[in-house]
Amino acid sequence: MSVTKKVSDWFMERLGLNDLPFFKTPDYMYHASEWLGALVAAAFFYTVISGLILLLYYNPDQGYSSTEFIINSVPYGSVVLYSHLYGAYAMIILAYVHMFRNYFVGAYKKPRELLWIIGVLMLVLVLGASFLGYSLIGDVLATSAVDVGAGIISSIPQLTFLLPILFGNYDSGQFGRVLAWHIILVALIGLLFVFHFFMAEHYGMMPSRKVKSKAPAVYTKEEWSKFNPWWPRNFVYMFSLIFLTWGFILAIPNALAYLNGLPQQFNPFLNPKPAPSPSSPLAAHVTTYPPWFFLFVYKIADFTSDVVIFLLIGVIIPLLYLILVPFLDRTEYLHPMKRKVFLGFGILMITYLIQTTIWGDLSPGIPVPITQQIEVYLPPAIITAIGLAFFKYVKIGNNMKKAQMTPLNAILFTVIALLMAGSLIAVLNEPSILTIGIFIPLLILFFGGAKLLTPPIFKADQSAVTPSVSQESVMSLERKKKMAQVIMVILLIFAAILAGTIWTIPATGYVSNMFGVDLGLIFIMLGESISLYHYIVYKKPDEHEE
């Protein structure tokens, strides 16, 4: 027995790792799309750790100047601060991806309803904690965001009591309450995470639709016991994902900060640096934006002067829908095409979220008349509705060939779709025989193309490929594994070089951000090498997607 095996066994026995109620994973689940929750959790832990380091230096009575102090004077303070910000960004984006992916595969269905609801509550807490964290910078953008937030709350007379509870003396520069709430919300996220995680482990990951096409989609204990145990394969795979996530969280913002001089219009999205202080004359030149993850709410606030209606559209209805969807969608089918209404809502939610966010970025705070709202939001709804009515769910037989969609087809169809959308707007703006005459042929072409391409899009993942382990596939896997081994050696060499140079980077100043970039790259290499290790050691030749 090797030393590492001894050490591994020692821990396994002491910690009872295999006795923990952790889900055992079937071979086909080692794909990032099955592990999105782990990515969110990785971002969460990174953000918590970096936040605790920032807590050593942050002074809530001097929010802006202590932010500047952390960036300029604390050794590697800017690295920690920027990656804290981007950790939160990553968490928000990944949480959305995680949520929508589970929405479309129907993971909220029995028995995972409560798991889903806790997840939705966590999303709310994440957005709240992000808003409060953003307010702690105390720059002109943060203070104006708080003004907007406080304005929304105070325009409902019954809610004004919340203002001192939430913000305290924010206006006179005392951020103590906001800091406390920021930490309290994160603690709540942590608490809910424990429930979310253990429930997820309890029910197990969603089996592929091919294995269990109907709710309740759970593996029986009997099936489950044959899968890969949590230790060591899951553990190895999980850590490769965690380190990769951390690497990107560290590398991206620090690279952006190092590149410097980003144009102002990217500010709400990309620039990790704080804007000028609100009391500075420079503040007058800054267009005030909410943080990017609230741009959509900010834009919806322009739709109506009635705050109650705004809150209903922008916050309450979407939230209630998400919380209630497990009870609204009561069918046992998991395939999205058998849940067309919910599929449509999901597509529209994503479309509207992106649309409104971009709109809020392009014209923040400019009131929108109702006709314009209809112009923006109706076409996606019509296209989705027609599209869903048009596509039929077809049960795939065993002799179905794997559908193919060539890149040329895809480009051609995209061009036709864009032309169709453009001519639709032309018809709506200027209904004339000419515009209608252009629109109708394009519409027919669009539907024709859509019909032709339906199988590749909706059936590709259904098509059955008879699993066969040929001698050839074993050999090519061996070849790939050999290559992976070579890559691991190269990664080690590069990581060692970077780790050597990292010691020479000054701890403060502009160059210190290179430390974040380098450390991020090392983390990416570590994550990648663990991933390659997982591939070489555990990947079986007969593993395929189900």
Q: Rule CB under 8 A: which residues touch another protein?
A: 1-2, 4-5, 53, 56-57, 62, 65, 73-77, 79-80, 171-173, 243, 276-277, 279-282, 485, 488-489, 491-492, 495-496, 498-499, 502-503, 505, 507-508, 515, 518-519, 522-523, 525-526, 529-530, 533, 536-537
CB of 5 vs another protein, minimal distance in Å? 8
Comparing CB distances to another protein, the nearer of 361 and 518 is 518
CA distances from 322 to 40, 326, 327, 345 (A): 19, 8, 10, 10
Encoded amino acid at 169, one letter? N
For residue 327, CA distances in Å to 113, 117, 206, 320, 332 come to 8, 11, 18, 11, 12
Q: 80 or 123: whose CB is closer to another protein? A: 80
Residue type, 452: L
* Residue type (1 letter), 313: I
Task: Give the N- to C-terminal CA distance of the chain in Å, as an integer.
Answer: 36
- For the bound state, the minimum distance from the C-beta of residue 230 to another protein, rounded and expressed in Å, comes to 19
Cβ 527 to another protein shortest distance, Å: 9
In the bound state with another protein, the residue whose beta carbon lies nearer, of 204 and 527, is: 527
Burial label, 522 (beta-carbon count in 10 A; 0-12, 13-18, 19+) = buried
* CB of 523 vs another protein, minimal distance in Å: 7
CA nearest neighbour of 208 among 85, 27, 331: 27
Place of tokens 């990309």: 270
Which alpha helices (DSSP H) does 395-507 contain, by range? Answer: 407-429, 433-454, 471-502
User: Which C-beta is closer to another protein: that of 220 or that of 504?
Assistant: 504
Residue 502 C-beta: closest distance to another protein, Å: 5
How distant, in Å, are the alpha carbons of 161, 166, 394, 493, 503 from that of 154?
A: 8, 12, 53, 58, 51
Min dist CB 80 to another protein, Å, is: 6
Picking from 463, 206, 209, the residue whose alpha carbon sits closest to that of residue 333 is: 209
Residue among 394 and 492 whose Cβ is closer to another protein: 492
**Block residue for tokens 């943080």:** 291
Q: Considering the complex, what minimum distance in angstroms separates the CB of residue 399 from another protein? A: 32
The amino acid at 57: Y
Q: What share of the chain is helix, strand, coil (3-state, %, to 5)?
A: 70, 0, 30
State the nearest-atom distance from the C-beta of 518 to another protein, in Å: 7
Q: Closest CB to another protein among 151 and 422?
A: 151
Kindly tell me which of 12 and 53 has the beta carbon lying closer to another protein.
Answer: 53
Residue 192 identity: L
User: Nearer to another protein by C-beta: 54 or 218?
Assistant: 54
| Cα–Cα distance list, 501 to 455, 498, 525 (Å) | 52, 5, 16
